[in-house]
Amino acid sequence: MQDWQLFLTCAEFSLPFMSTEAIIDALSHPVAIFLLQLIIIIIAAQLCGLFFKKFGQPPVIGEIIAGIILGPSVIGAIFPAFNAFVFPAASLGNLQLLSQVGLILFMFVIGMELDLNIIKKKAKSAILISNISIIVPYGLGVGLAFYLKDDYLPAGIPFYAFCLFIGIAMSITAFPVLARIIKDKKLTQTRAGNIAIVSAAINDIAGWCILAVVIALAKAGSIGNSLYTIVFAVAYVLVMLFVIRPLLKTMSTQKTTDEDVKRSTIAIIFIVLLLSAYTAEVIGIHALFGAFMAGVIMPLEWDFRKLIINKIEDVALVLLLPIFFIFTGLRTQIGLLNEPALWGMCGIITFVAILGKFGGSVFAARIAGENMHDSLTVGALMNTRGLMELIILNIGYDLGILNPQVFAMMVIMALVTTFMTSPLLNLFNKIYGKVNT
């Protein structure tokens, strides 16, 4: 009998008409385990999210921390019997699949939240910042990959795939977290806030396109084979933009109240979403890119998008995304960083990430003619990685590009760069005599 089974024998005292074996069978049934996991995940995510929100941090930080606490790094190390019972290895596949459904819905919402009209209007003032804030950290990431390859390049993974992936991991910005920080800090009407949100939107589009190429290279196994994937990917994007998008345009003429939007319309939207994700996955550029693309091509009328977002967002954010955070925490083994040299490497990765994204964005903003306060504000906001970074890291882990040690280091980097955003904004406001909110 395993340790967690011994732990359960105490239940026999409270349920005298059931044998220990019957109690264990009932409690360890796959459906019972799955429901217990969902209960624990939602409670832990909400409590940790509220806790960090009280300190001016985005709730996503708390949700990520909740995942790490429930994983092998904390509870798994202190109470292995509990961890083995609630999150047995056999159940993790189900959690991963459900988390992918949540990510598909989330990326669809992110695509819909991108207001392309705003991007077009402000692209000239933001395009320089967006480009430099990708190029500089990407270049530093490529350099970092050369430094890491001798000790951390997984066997069987081409170096170019590892190199390109580290570059994109260094250059991503968490558009949804950044948008929520801008709203919480009342920066939506400021020049710095507008520049940051548009730059991040352009950054997201470019970043996911680059990531699609990197995934194609990694899955194909060679640059030659990846060309077929890239050709199909380009054809897929063109079909989405110039065939599917015009067909969906007619939906935007409908009234946008819950009563008026027919179930058939919602069904069509979900079919487009799932077909787009399926096509992207089959092509080899990942289902999440397909979900993101499906959101981008939805009719541009904001009222229509907002209605669909409201129908999807609550389920995705409250139920499904926390599963992704916990799944990420379950595979994040901070205990693997058991030597000072490994923590030193983690520090180097974090430093390179901050230097590239924060430094590159500040530099670009100054070149674009922004004052120092606005430049620093844009830099702090663009340095926010959050959920988008975790999504990319999990893709790299699943593809075998990142080993468990580098994955843990990168998760820590994502936490640090997201956590520092609010304190930096408050610091810059204090230095330059702005009003903190």
Encode pLDDT of 134-168 as tens digits: 899 999 999 999 999 888 998 888 888 899 899 98
Residue 297, classed as helix, strand or coil, is coil
Computed from CA positions of residues 92, 97, 102, 106, in that sequence, does the dihedral angle turn out positive or negative?
A: positive
217: alpha, beta or left? (left if phi > 0; alpha if psi -120 to 50): alpha
Secondary structure in 3-state letters for 240-271: HHHHHHHHHHHHHHCCCCCCCCCHHHHHHHHH
CA distances from 78 to 75, 221, 304 (A): 5, 41, 49
Computed from CA positions of residues 14, 17, 21, 26, in that sequence, does the dihedral angle turn out positive or negative?
A: negative
Instruction: Report the distance separating Cα 338 and Cα 350, nearest Å.
Output: 18
3-state helix, strand, coil in the chain (%, to 5): 80, 0, 20
Instruction: Report the distance separating Cα 417 and Cα 341, nearest Å.
Output: 21
- CATH architecture type of domain 94-431: Up-down Bundle (1.20)
pLDDT mean across residues, the chain: 81
Predicted pLDDT at 436: 47
Predicted pLDDT at 179: 72
Beta-carbon contacts of 43 under 8 Å, excluding residues fewer than 6 positions away, are none
CB 293 within 8 A of CB 209: no
Global pTM exceeds 0.85: no
**Average pLDDT over every residue of 16-40:** 76
Q: Please write the tens of the pLDDT for every residue from 394-428.
A: 888 988 899 999 999 999 999 899 889 889 988 99
Beta-carbon contacts of 316 under 8 Å, excluding residues fewer than 6 positions away, are 102, 105, 106, 109
User: Which phi and psi angles does 349 have, rounded to 5°?
Assistant: -60, -45
Instruction: Report the distance separating Cα 180 and Cα 305, nearest Å.
Output: 18
**Average pLDDT over every residue of 22-40:** 81
Instruction: Report the distance separating Cα 136 and Cα 220, nearest Å.
Output: 27
Predicted pLDDT at 252: 65
Tokens 């459906």, residue located: 31
Predicted pLDDT at 362: 92
Q: What angle do CA 333, 337, 341 make, to 5 degrees?
A: 160
Q: What is the gyration radius of the CA atoms in the chain, in angstroms?
A: 23
Q: What angle do CA 381, 386, 391 make, to 5 degrees?
A: 135
Beta-carbon contacts of 266 under 8 Å, excluding residues fewer than 6 positions away, are 308, 311
* Residue range(s) occupied by CATH 1.20.1530.20 in the chain: 94-431
Predicted pLDDT at 301: 66
**Average pLDDT over every residue of 50-77:** 84
CB 144 within 8 A of CB 357: no
Task: Please report which confidence band the pLDDT of residue 237 belongs to, taking 50, 70 and 90 as the band edges.
Answer: confident
CA 43 to chain centroid, in Å, comes to 20
Q: What is the DSSP string of 310-361?
A: HHHHHIIIIIIHHHHHHHHHHH--GGG--SHHHHHHHHHHHHHHHIIIIIHH
**Of 400, 365, 401, 395, nearest in space to 382 by CA:** 365
Q: What angle do CA 433, 435, 436 make, to 5 degrees?
A: 115
CA distances from 279 to 126, 276, 290, 347 (A): 32, 5, 7, 39
Judge whether residue 437 has pLDDT over 50: no
Instruction: Report the distance separating Cα 307 and Cα 133, nearest Å.
Output: 33
**Average pLDDT over every residue of 343-372:** 91
**Average pLDDT over every residue of 178-200:** 75
